Amino acid sequence: MMHRARILAYSGTFIALIAAGSWISIPLPPVPLTLQTLFVLLSGIVMKRYAVIPVALYVLLGAAGLPVFHNGTAGLGVLLGPTGGFLAGFIPSALVVGLAYEHESPKSRVAGLIAATCVTYVFGVAWLAWSASLSLPQAILVGVAPFVVGAVVKVAAAYAIGKRVA
């Protein structure tokens, strides 16, 4: 079990890292490629199940108007726009990684990282299809296909970093 002071310190750190990751991006319409997902994965690796705390706070801070989303955007409009599902998907994604990293098995950890990435895409694609009036194949084409290579790199990077810090 993680001590409260450690949860607080890590939470602040990961909120800042996820926000910083939103500025490191490649603008691909309608969903930019950012480093946010890497930091969401790392929060789960470091904080285990408690990673839900900073990730949920990050989403809430952005919804409340703090400019922490892609390129300093904020507000409920962002969550209701095409990227909102991806942002909302960060929360269960952090939980999936966190629970996987409570196990020592490398297979469980890799599976958790992959599953968490898929969770983000499921939330993101579902919302993208609905909010942008796209068919599911169209939403997958614009919301997943351009990001597969980046997602694989981020999963590999998170796993490599996790071997050092977890």
What CATH number was assigned to the domain covering residues 4-161?
1.10.1760.20
Phi, psi of 33 (to 5 degrees): -85, 115
- Give the pLDDT score at 46: 98
Would you list the domain boundaries of the chain? Answer: 4-161
- Pair type for strands 25-26 and 33-34: antiparallel
pLDDT tens, N- to C-terminus, the chain (166 residues) = 789 999 999 999 999 999 999 998 888 777 778 999 999 999 999 999 999 999 999 999 999 999 999 989 999 999 999 999 999 999 999 999 999 999 999 999 999 999 999 999 999 999 999 999 999 999 999 999 999 999 999 999 999 999 999 7
Q: In angstroms, what is the C-alpha Rg of the chain?
A: 15
- Give the pLDDT score at 60: 98
The first and second tokens of residue 11, run together, are 């939470």
Which residues, in sequence order, are bridge partners of residue 34?
Answer: 25
- Give the pLDDT score at 28: 78
